[in-house]
Chain A
Amino acid sequence: MTTEIDRQWTTRLRKTVVEKLPPEKLLPDTQPAYVASWIYVFGVTTLAALAIVIATGCVLAMKGPLWWHLSSTGHFVNSLHLWSVEIFFFAMVIHLWGKYFMAAWRGGRQLTWVTGVVLFLTSIGAGFTGYVSQTNYDSQWISTQAKDGINATGGGAFFNVLNLGQMLMWHIVLLPLAAVALTAVHVIYVRIKGVVPPFEEEK
């Protein structure tokens, strides 16, 4: 008999979560033998690079544009931010190629792939708004070039690349929030389903 306690949403949510993702699945002790290959390293490399991008971005936000333009420590943290982004995209695209050629969406893993695709697009948006938020000649050049393309699509009515305030907010609030939330969902899906077996093992 279901009691009133069983019907509470908190009880139901806890039971679903514990059933779908027990702690030993969330943080497993071992991985299948086929995971011992360099190609599986690129997801975590992307994750590590993202952590450094966010951390250095927080330092840049605390200190502001004058600091990153004029002081050598500011230049250094700005460079850490840029180069972690370079590593982030480098690793993410190799990760994507790897998952594409092993068809890692098999076995009910389609949402892992789809969150990955959305992450890829979100990251491009974050990179772009970062470039136009630099507050230098480079960002002026990029935004005045980009405005014509975006206006031609009609998107300029909602997303004005010449509006520095708007671009900065997208870059430091909306897109990072989306990227971090989607990454959490992406990795949790991998943990729920376990790493996809190679084609030979599947048969």
Chain B
Amino acid sequence: MGLTEFFGAVFNLDHVGKYIHWGFIQLSVSNAILIALMIVTFISALLLPFPGKRNRKEGK
């Protein structure tokens, strides 16, 4: 099985897109997942320690 078939089987996109309806707001599930990932990345960027920070001199 090639890579294409493998990913095609895992992420089957051969169907009508799924949408979230919330009042007048309508967005695709893929976009909702992407927005969630962005929020997670944003919070991680604030919380995760930055490598090499300890070795730096103050003010440098």
Contacts and interface: CB of A to CB of B under 8 A. Distances in A.
Contact of B56 (A33, A42, A90): A33
A102 to B, nearest CB: 10
A106 to B, nearest CB: 19
Q: Could you say which of B45, B50, B56, B60 has the most chain A C-beta atoms within 10 Å of its C-beta? A: B45
B52 A42 contact: no
B50 A94 contact: no
**Category for how many chain A residues contact B:** 10 to 19
B38 A33 contact: no
A33 B45 CA distance: 16
B58 interface: yes
A67 B58 CA distance: 54
Contacts of A90: 34, 37-38, 41
A36 B41 CA distance: 17
Contacts of B41: 90, 94
